């Protein structure tokens, strides 16, 4: 596993973004792990988060694109932090853009926040965690309504590797339905590999009992390859 992936997993633990226990997802699934990106709350945390996203974006899509689009609301700080990091780490000046939930009819009118999207632009979409892929179905029409746009793909922080609306993973479904390339900073397989029976700050975070619960969850909800 690449060093930045291992660091990102520990970073999620430190920020209390990645938690283990008994949770219920929006879709009603009982899960032994939960990822809440709302716990990235400080400037330093956002600086580091942007850097991890920048690395994943550059690895998968390069930096020869024009706009980093973060769907409202969680995607707004992600697009800002990652575009700053891409500039700092790779010297590429990428524009950031997000959508508003409600269209403004005064002042800075329209549905977009940040940079406009124009004919010929290449766009990468940035999100936190994609479970069902429903937000992409809402986001793509907004982007494509702006003109002759090429959407290169989607990057998320963690691939949960579970079924979306069918038997395949949400990211695989997005790829097949919309033709988008997808990427993640890490997968849940990376998380388990790095934390299982390995002390971190004096604690075993994924022990045999938790590993069995995770395995059982994937037996029920794991995606087909």
Could you list the residues known to form a binding site for 5-phospho-alpha-D-ribose 1-diphosphate, using ranges: 26, 73-74, 100-101, 104, 106, 127-135
- CB–CB of 141/178 below 8 Å? no
Identify whether 201 is a catalytic site residue: no
Residue 23 to residue 94: CA distance in whole angstroms = 37
Identify whether 194 is a catalytic site residue: no
Kindly state the helix (H) or strand (E) to which residue 152 belongs, with its residue range. strand 150-159
Nearest CA among 91, 88, 62, 68 for reference residue 80? 68
Kindly state the helix (H) or strand (E) to which residue 209 belongs, with its residue range. helix 208-221
Q: Which of 5, 19, 104, 168 is catalytic?
A: 104
Q: Which of 5, 30, 106, 122 is catalytic?
A: 106
Both tokens of 4, joined, read 């930045």
**Please, which residues bridge with residue 196 across strands?**
206
Kindly state the helix (H) or strand (E) to which residue 126 belongs, with its residue range. strand 122-126
User: Which residue positions form the known binding site?
Assistant: 26, 73-74, 100-101, 104, 106, 127-135, 160
Q: If you ran DSSP here, which 8-state letter would residue 191 be given?
A: H
- CB–CB of 49/78 below 8 Å? yes
Both tokens of 1, joined, read 């596993």
User: Which residue positions form the known binding site for orotate?
Assistant: 131, 160
Handedness of CA 83, 84, 90, 91 (dihedral sign): positive
- Collapsing DSSP to helix, strand or coil, 175 comes out as helix
Could you give the residue numbers annotated as active site? 104, 106
């Amino acid at each position: 596993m690449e060093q930045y992936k291992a660091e990102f997993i520990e970073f999620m633990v430190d920020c209390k973004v990645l938690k283990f226990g008994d949770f219920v997802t929006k879709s009603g699934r009982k899960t032994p792990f939960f990822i809440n990106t709302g716990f990235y709350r400080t400037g330093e945390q956002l600086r580091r988060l942007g850097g991890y996203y920048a690395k994943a974006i550059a690895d998968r899509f390069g930096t020869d694109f024009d706009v980093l689009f973060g769907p409202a609301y969680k995607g707004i700080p992600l697009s800002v932090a990652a575009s700053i990091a891409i500039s700092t780490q790779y010297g590429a000046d990428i524009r950031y853009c997000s959508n508003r939930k409600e269209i403004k009819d005064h002042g800075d009118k329209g549905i977009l926040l940040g940079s406009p999207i124009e004919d010929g632009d290449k766009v990468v979409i940035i999100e936190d965690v994609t479970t069902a892929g429903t937000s992409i179905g809402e986001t793509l029409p907004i982007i494509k309504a702006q003109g002759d746009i090429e959407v290169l793909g989607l990057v998320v922080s963690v691939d949960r590797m579970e079924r979306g609306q069918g038997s395949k993973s949400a990211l695989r479904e997005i790829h097949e339905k919309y033709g988008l390339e997808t990427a993640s900073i890490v997968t849940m397989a990376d998380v388990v590999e790095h934390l299982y029976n390995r002390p971190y700050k004096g604690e075993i975070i994924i022990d045999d009992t938790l590993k069995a619960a995770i395995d059982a969850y994937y037996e029920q909800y794991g995606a087909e390859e």
